Amino acid sequence: MLQIVSIRPGCTEYDRQKRIQGNLSIPLTEEGRAYALQLADQLRGVPVEVIYCPEGEPAEETGRLIADKLGVKLRVLDNLENINLGLWQGMLINDVRHKQPKVYRQWQEQPESVCPPQGEMLSEAEDRLRTALVKLLKRHKEGVIAIVLPEPLLTLLRRFLVHAELGDLWQPSQGKPCWEVFDVDPEALLAASV
């Protein structure tokens, strides 16, 4: 059995301002760095062997802080890049809601059917994530690995591992834990992803 620890990155200035980050590389705030170090303390009893994250901040910085404190390796993977939300990136969530109310509602209710202007479909990010996860599942059949992912990629990971609902992607962190442990059967997941 393999355990996958999913970790939410620390906050950035965009998070504080309720801006859409997408795949922009924004550094952690002091609060975000403190959060990462606090997570490392919480994970101290979990026998994590390696931490994976996408290139770019805040996930890479969060992963590095945790890995350094736990004394484990950090591996940066290209295909874990967050969804490109195009022209929405940098905008306040409220601006999208007021300027594009139909698209905002559609992203809430049926995010799979929306392509942000000059961005990518959720399915494209999901395909990248699935490709990366298949490689990890082939490499790790047992033990404990951790993956640091920003939203909405973290929600897509949860959906892949336990078939969870997407929920409201405009409010991704509300009511969700900072980190979760999933017990997975790599062979079953690999067979299902074919």
For residue 64, with 0-12 CB atoms within 10 Å meaning exposed, 13-18 middle and 19 or more buried, which class applies? middle
**For 143-177, what is each residue's pLDDT tens digit?**
999 999 999 999 999 999 998 888 778 776 655 67
First to last CA, the chain: 20
CATH at residue 114: 3.40.50.1240
Beta carbons within 10 angstroms of residue 128's beta carbon: 21
CA distance 67 to 86: 31
Question: Which helix (H) or strand (E) segment is 144 a member of?
Answer: strand 143-148
Please state the domain count of the chain. 1
Residue 58: is the preceding peptide bond cis (ω within 30°)? yes
Could you tell me which residues come within 8 angstroms of residue 72 by beta carbon, excluding any fewer than 6 positions away? 48, 49, 50, 51
pLDDT category at 95 given cuts 50, 70, 90 is very high
User: What is the pLDDT at residue 110?
Assistant: 92
- Domain span holding position 9: 2-192
Query: Average pLDDT, stretch 26-38?
Result: 96
The pTM of this model reads 0.93
pLDDT category at 91 given cuts 50, 70, 90 is very high
- Residue 145 tokens read as 């690995």
> What SS3 state is found at 130?
helix
Ramachandran region of residue 167, left (φ > 0), alpha (ψ -120 to 50) or beta? Answer: left
Interstrand relation of 2-7 and 179-184 (parallel, antiparallel or unpaired): antiparallel
User: What is the pLDDT at residue 171?
Assistant: 72
